[in-house]
Amino acid sequence: MPVFLTDEEYTILTSVCSRLIPSEDGPGATEAGVVDYIDTLLGAFSYDPPRIWAAGPYSGRHGGDPGFAEFLTLSPLEELAWRSRIEGSLGLAEREVNGPVVGLQQRYREGVAALGSGFPELSPSEQDAALHAHAEFAALVFEHACEGMYGAPEYGGNRDLVGWRLIDFAGDVQPRGYTDAEVSEP
Amino acid sequence: MNPGPGTARDFDAIIVGSGPGGSAAALALTETGRSVLVVEKGRNHLIDLDDPRRLIQRYSNDEIKFGPRHFLGPDPIVEPRTFRISEADGDRVFVGEVNSVPATVGGGAVHADGKVPRFLEEDFRLLSERGPVEGAEVVDWPLCYDDLEPFYEQAEGLIGVSGAAGSNPFAAPRSAPYPMPPGPAMYVARLTSAAAERAGLHPYPAPTAANSVPYGGRPACNNCGFCSFFGCPIHAKGDPVAMLQRALLSGRAQIWPETCATRVVIEHGRATGVELLDQAGRRWVEPAASVVVAAGAIETPRLLLLSGVEHPLLGRYAMFHFQTYVAGHFPQRLHVHRGRAVTHVHDDHLVSDLASRAAAAAAGLPWIRGGMVEHAGASLPIEEAKLYPWGSGHGASMAASPMRDHLGALVMQGEDLPQSGNRVDLDPAVRDARGLPVARVTYGPHRHELAASDHYSGILTEVLKGAGAEWTVTATSPMPATPLTPYGDLISPIPASRHVMGTARMGRDPADAVCDPWGRLFAAPNVLVADSSVFPTSAGYGPTLTIVALALRNAAAFSAGT
Ligand SMILES: Cc1cc2nc3c(=O)[nH]c(=O)nc-3n(C[C@H](O)[C@H](O)[C@H](O)COP(=O)(O)OP(=O)(O)OC[C@H]3O[C@@H](n4cnc5c(N)ncnc54)[C@H](O)[C@@H]3O)c2cc1C
Ligand code: SF4
């Protein structure tokens, strides 16, 4: 169940992500659950604490406790920043010191609507053409898709570490780290 | 947090900012018996303030948190800066992130990867040694290397620096070895430093503020690779933690995080306190006998301008290192994500030689000077993923990794000449979330930086080829502006260097300098400026060790009233 996106938006955005980072010889955005990363960001404030910063210091993947599973609380200034970024300024004076801010929620809602409910049925080349025609929105989703593909799985993406496995990357390695030989030798 | 407005706390000094400069000042003042309050506008993720021996563990190997999500602040949506190249651009051309370093307890050093060399003797005497350059205000410092040497030694011991004395033939004399031996060399740096040696250069293990062995009660670095732009999850970095711990343990220091200084109250040439604003929205003036400003070389002039300090040079001579990146593609994988980001450096391009003199003459300049070159490669997958175009082939590019795991880089932190038009002032319209005018940076490189970059990038290209690179690319930051250069992007006229200097230069004569030779404001001598704002020239080295050494020296003198 998505936390912010509607089911239809979720379906459209899943197709968008699968064109931006396609599953070709290996896994892509679909296998990594990139759309869940984006939905978690857009709905970050439906959780308490909000899903902005994983706590750490370790994930438990290389020793230590799984501290990435917890999230940190925000200070009032940080909450102001993140609510403005995600929800937009919504006409609130404290969010409009330098004028109105369009939030990510609105940009996604409008971007997905502009691509239309028929997007998932288009052929891959038609989908690419539609994304090129909405280049600004495609660039926004691509940025988040990269984060959801190659960031820590606790943020909702990189499911089963498919992103890191694809590139043979260990991800967070504390508290184990790397040995001197792993640093210095070929 | 802070206890809020109260009465008669009577601090000897309020220190604005808890980065390397503010922390060193806090230590020097408490060690000479003074009581200090450190106010820091950012959050505390470093030290348990109730039990300073305990460190907080909230830093992590998390590219999302420290990259696109601004964990250590400042978040440009609530604390932007603005930028323009010159007045001809109008009020500004960009609003957002301009040279930000973390706003958090510990300041920028929390996520620096910490190359902390000393300056050369020549860096303090640039005008005498090299002479004037048209269009720039090259000057000597009002102190020399020997004045600072004992404080360099103290700073290295406090921060914890690993390095190899005697390995750099250009280094100034030192009275003691480094506190720790160098850590392990990164594979890519072994390749490039061997090639540099074959090319007649003199690479050496980078003096680094990271523990190579357990030191100061903190563990040795375990090479996790999430170093530059990240806090250290195990506290192996030589950030200001040790200085802050010692100051707190003296019982004479307090740190109030999430408390912003909005104005230094100055009456008749003397500071009487600092106006504070906290996250609960409380605003009050906290009185103090003196004030230390160490908010970083962009926020310090901003605060002094907000405080009504009047000096025609305040904010002027802003300097950033002019960075030249030469990257080479190697056939083999370099595993650049293991290690401390940079393990070797060379200083040859700071020293005058026949080739650089010829290059200077050809460019119509009396001389050129480059900077320290970092042998580096570190970058991480999200950053890499955003470099390849979206669509078919993206996964294949990531798996092959031409832009990360096969890339070795040499980065020169080039000397940036002081120009009076390069400055920090208050933006006439843009405000932060607290309602205060933000800092506006006006900056364009001097011809000197472009000529030096041009000359030395050729040498660096040959080194990379000699190390086995199949092809190389060169880029600079700032990128000289063209109508197509995007602001705030990877390639941008906004300097990417996080080394910011100048803006309240020190000197002997109040007509030529904002601060006296001991870092005190000429306009209010009980205000000490304890960060790189006071640097008269930029040198070709990261500023942090010199910030700490100078703050230790100047704060001790400030305390003694000399
Ligand atoms: C990724 C990265 C890598 C770096 N690598 C190196 C390196 O290898 N070598 C090197 O020498 N340097 C390096 N640096 C630069 C280094 O971080 C700075 O030189 C150093 O932190 C400057 O110290 P400072 O004390 O002058 O200021 P800062 O560290 O900027 O500290 C100033 C503090 O003051 C606070 N503050 C500002 N305004 C106010 C206010 N009004 N009220 C209260 N608090 C306020 C800020 O929040 C901040 O915490 C690097 C920086 C970055 C970001
Ligand atoms: S590389 Fe070393 S110093 Fe840097 S963050 Fe990792 S453990 Fe800490």
Quote the distance between the C-alpha of residue B138 and its chain's center.
20
Band of the pLDDT at B457, cuts 50, 70, 90? very high
Q: How many distinct helices (H) and strands (E) make up chain A?
A: 9, 0
Q: Where are the domains of chain B?
A: 11-560
Band of the pLDDT at B6, cuts 50, 70, 90? confident
Band of the pLDDT at B562, cuts 50, 70, 90? low
- Determine the residue type at B366: P
- Determine the residue type at B362: A
**How far off is chain B from A54, nearest CA to CA, in Å?**
7
DSSP per position, B458-490 = HHHHHHHHHTT-SEEEEEEESPPP-TTPPTTSS
The pLDDT, as a whole number, for residue B483 is: 67
Q: How many CB atoms lie within 10 A of CB B377?
A: 31
Tokens of A83: 């609510």
**How far off is chain A from B102, nearest CA to CA, in Å?**
14
Do A77 and B433 lie within an 8 Å CB cutoff?
A: yes
Could you say which residues from 58 to 97 on chain A have a Cβ atom under 8 Å away from some Cβ of chain B? 58-59, 67-68, 72, 75-78, 80-82, 84-85, 94, 97
Q: Using omega within 30 degrees of 0 as the cis cutoff, is the peptide bond preceding B478 cis? A: yes
Name the residue facing A28 among B64, B280, B395 (closest C-beta). B395
Do A27 and B222 lie within an 8 Å CB cutoff?
A: no
Contact (Cβ atoms closer than 8 angstroms) between residue A30 and residue A23? yes
Beta-bridge mates of residue B94: B83
HSE toward the beta carbon, residue B169, CA cutoff 13 A: 8
CA distances (Å), origin B270, targets A117, B101, B302, B525: 67, 30, 19, 7
Residue of chain B whose alpha carbon sits nearest to that of A61: B61
Query: Is the pLDDT score of B388 beyond 70?
Result: yes
Tokens of B217: 């009660």
Give a three-class secondary structure readout of B235-284. Answer: CCECCCHHHHHHHHHCCCEEEECCEEEEEEEEECCEEEEEEEEECCCCEE
- Interatomic CA distance for residues B441 and B25, integer angstroms: 26
A chain contacts of residue B377, beta-carbon cutoff 8 Å = none
Within 8 A by CB and 6+ apart from B405, the residues are B333, B334, B335, B336, B337
Mean pLDDT of B15-20: 98
pLDDT above 90 covers what percent of chain A?
A: 98
Q: Where are the domains of chain A?
A: 7-184
- Interatomic CA distance for residues B77 and B68, integer angstroms: 12
Do B75 and A173 lie within an 8 Å CB cutoff?
A: no
Q: Is A136 on the interface with B (CB under 8 A)?
A: no
Mean pLDDT (chain B, rounded): 95
**How far off is chain A from B68, nearest CA to CA, in Å?**
9
Q: Is B75 on the interface with A (CB under 8 A)?
A: yes
Name the residue facing A184 among B186, B224, B258 (closest C-beta). B186
Do A54 and B65 lie within an 8 Å CB cutoff?
A: yes
Q: What is the pLDDT of residues A28-57, one digit of tens each?
A: 999 999 999 999 999 999 999 999 999 999
The pLDDT, as a whole number, for residue B184 is: 97
Q: What are phi and psi of B438, to 5 degrees?
A: -85, 170
Answer whether B229 contacts ligand 2 (Cβ < 6 A).
Answer: no
- Interatomic CA distance for residues A152 and A161, integer angstroms: 8
* The CATH fold of domain B11-560: FAD/NAD(P)-binding domain (3.50.50)
Q: How many CB atoms lie within 10 A of CB A94?
A: 13
Dihedral angle sign, alpha carbons of residues B120, B123, B124, B128: positive
Beta-bridge mates of residue B285: B275
Query: Is the pLDDT score of A63 beyond 70?
Result: yes
Query: Is the pLDDT score of B515 beyond 90?
Result: yes
Mean pLDDT (chain A, rounded): 97
- Interatomic CA distance for residues A8 and A112, integer angstroms: 9
Tokens of B278: 């906290």
Tokens of A84: 């403005």
Band of the pLDDT at B482, cuts 50, 70, 90? low
Q: What is the pLDDT of residues B273-320, one digit of tens each?
A: 999 999 999 999 999 999 999 999 999 999 999 999 999 999 999 999
Pairing relation of β-strands B11-16 and B520-521?
unpaired
What SS3 class is residue A61?
strand
**Region of residue B450 (left: phi > 0; alpha: psi -120 to 50; beta: else):** alpha
Tokens of A159: 């499911």
Ligand 1 atom closest to residue B104's alpha carbon, by position in its atom list: 49
Query: Is the pLDDT score of B378 beyond 90?
Result: no
Q: What are phi and psi of B103, to 5 degrees?
A: -105, 95
Answer whether B37 contacts ligand 2 (Cβ < 6 A).
Answer: no
Answer whether B220 contacts ligand 2 (Cβ < 6 A).
Answer: no
- Interatomic CA distance for residues A67 and B309, integer angstroms: 47
Mean pLDDT of A24-31: 95
Residues with CB under 6 A from ligand 1: B 16-22, 39-42, 101, 103-104, 107-109, 111-116, 228-229, 260-261, 294-296, 299, 303, 498-499, 531-532, 542-544, 547
Do A174 and B233 lie within an 8 Å CB cutoff?
A: yes
Q: What are phi and psi of B57, to 5 degrees?
A: -120, 85
- Determine the residue type at B164: A
Contact (Cβ atoms closer than 8 angstroms) between residue A71 and residue A53? yes
The pLDDT, as a whole number, for residue B296 is: 98
* Radius of gyration, CA atoms only, chain A: 18
Q: What is the pLDDT of residues B545-561, one digit of tens each?
A: 999 999 999 999 999 98
Answer whether B234 contacts ligand 2 (Cβ < 6 A).
Answer: yes
Mutate-to-test residue for ligand 1 from B14, B37, B101, highest number of ligand atoms within 8 A of CB: B101
- Interatomic CA distance for residues A87 and B141, integer angstroms: 50
In B158-258, at which residue ranges do the beta strands (DSSP E only) sit?
A: 204-205, 253-256
Mean pLDDT of B174-194: 97
Contact (Cβ atoms closer than 8 angstroms) between residue B470 and residue B453? no
Output the residue whose Cα is nearest ligand 2's atom 2: B221
Contact (Cβ atoms closer than 8 angstroms) between residue A154 and residue A55? no
Mean pLDDT of B387-394: 96
Do A151 and B332 lie within an 8 Å CB cutoff?
A: no
**How far off is chain A from B209, nearest CA to CA, in Å?**
18
Q: What are phi and psi of A163, to 5 degrees?
A: -65, -50
Do A128 and B73 lie within an 8 Å CB cutoff?
A: no
Burial code (b: 16+ CB inside 10 Å, e: under 16) for A134-160 equals: beebbebbbbbbbbbbbbbbbbbbbbe
CA distances (Å), origin B334, targets B294, B400, B409: 39, 12, 11
DSSP per position, B70-105 = -TTS--TTTS-EEEESSGGG-S-SEEE-SS----BT
Q: Is B226 on the interface with A (CB under 8 A)?
A: yes
In B301-455, at which residue ranges do the beta strands (DSSP E only) sit?
A: 319-320, 322-329, 342-346, 371-376, 407-414, 423-431, 437-442
**How far off is chain B from A37, nearest CA to CA, in Å?**
11
Query: Is the pLDDT score of B486 beyond 90?
Result: no
Answer whether B340 contacts ligand 2 (Cβ < 6 A).
Answer: yes
Q: Is B181 on the interface with A (CB under 8 A)?
A: no
Name the residue facing A22 among B65, B223, B394 (closest C-beta). B394
Q: Which helix (H) or strand (E) holds B289?
A: strand B283-293
Mean pLDDT of B479-503: 83
A chain contacts of residue B396, beta-carbon cutoff 8 Å = 24-25
Q: What is the value of ipTM here, to two decimals? A: 0.98
Quote the distance between the C-alpha of residue B156 and its chain's center.
16
Contact (Cβ atoms closer than 8 angstroms) between residue B78 and residue B435? no
The pLDDT, as a whole number, for residue B484 is: 63
